[in-house]
Amino acid sequence: MGVRGIWKGFGGSDAEPVRVPDAEVAGARVAVASDRERLEMLDSFERSDLAWFWASDARGNFTYLSAKALEQFEAQRPVIGEPVADVLQAMEDDDEHKEVKPISYLLSARSSFTELVVCLKGEENTEGGCKWWSLTGRPQFDKRQNFVGYRGIAKDITATYEEKRKTSRMAAFDALTGLSNRHRMTQRLTAALNAYKVEKRSCALIMLDLDRFKQVNDTLGHPAGDELLRQVSQRLQRVAPAGAEIGRIGGDEFQLIVPDLDDRGKLGDSANRMIQMISQPYSIEGSRAIIGTSVGIAVAPYDGIEPAELVKAADLALYAAKGGGRGQFRFYSNDLKENAEDRREIEEDLRDAIAHEELVMHYQPQVCAKDHTVRGFEALMRWEHPEQGAISPAVFIPIAEDSNLIDQLGRWALKQACKDAAEWPGDLPVSVNVSARQFLNEDLPDIVHKALADSGLPPSRLELEITESVFMGDIGSAEVMFARLRKLGVKLALDDFGTGYSSLAYLRQAPFGKIKIDQSFVRGCAEEGESGRAIINAIASLARAMNMTTTAEGVEAMDELATIGALDVDLVQGFIFSRAVSQAEVLAKLESGEMRYEAVGPAKHRAKRRTLFRRIGVVHEDHHYVAPVRDLSRTGAKIEGLLDVPIGTDLVLDLGEGQIVVGKVRRSQDATQGIEFETPLVSDGAGGLCTRHRVSPYMLAAVGLPLQALPSGTHLAAAAAGNPAPSSRPRFIQVDVQGGSSRAG
Stretch among 397-406, 486-495, 506-515 having the lowest mean pLDDT: 506-515
Q: Which residues pair with 283 in a beta bridge?
A: 288
CA–CA dist 512, 569 (Å, integer): 16
Q: How far is CA 353 from the centre of its chain?
A: 33
Quote the DSSP letter at residue 254: E
pLDDT of 284 above 50: yes
pLDDT of 727 above 90: no
Q: Which long-range contacts (CB under 8 A, 24 or more apart) does 44-52 make?
A: 46/3, 50/155, 51/153, 51/154, 51/155, 52/153, 52/154, 52/155
Q: What is the DSSP pairing of strand 689-690 with strand 682-683?
A: antiparallel
Q: What pLDDT does 179 receive?
A: 93
Fold topology of 2-158? Beta-Lactamase (3.30.450)
Q: Which residues contact 498 (CB under 8 A, 6 or more apart)?
A: 517, 518, 520, 521, 535, 539
Q: Which residues pair with 637 in a beta bridge?
A: 675
Q: Where in the chain is the domain with CATH 3.30.70.270?
A: 173-333
Q: Where in the chain is the domain with CATH 2.40.10?
A: 614-744
pLDDT of 557 above 70: yes
Amino acid at residue number 16: E
CA–CA dist 122, 86 (Å, integer): 9
Q: Where in the chain is the domain with CATH 3.30.450.20?
A: 2-158
pLDDT of 706 above 80: no
Q: Which residues contact 235 (CB under 8 A, 6 or more apart)?
A: 277, 278, 280
Amino acid at residue number 269: D
Q: Where in the chain is the domain with CATH 3.20.20.450?
A: 343-591
CA–CA dist 206, 270 (Å, integer): 10
Give the gyration radius of the chain's Cα atoms: 37
Class of domain 173-333: alpha beta
What is the torsional sign of CA 54, 57, 58, 61?
negative
Q: What pLDDT does 439 receive?
A: 87
Fold topology of 614-744? Thrombin, subunit H (2.40.10)
CA–CA dist 655, 673 (Å, integer): 16
Query: In which band, very low, low, confident or very high, does the pLDDT at 530 lie, cut at 50, 70 and 90?
Result: confident
Q: What pLDDT does 472 receive?
A: 61
Say if residues 724 and 701 touch (Cβ distance below 8 Å): no
Whole-structure pTM value:
0.59
Q: What is the mean pLDDT of the chain?
A: 83
pLDDT of 248 above 50: yes
Torsion, CA 458, CA 460, CA 466, CA 471, rounded to 10: 120
- Which CATH number is 343-591 given? 3.20.20.450
Over residues 469-503, the pLDDT tens digits come to 776 655 677 788 888 999 999 999 998 776 655 55
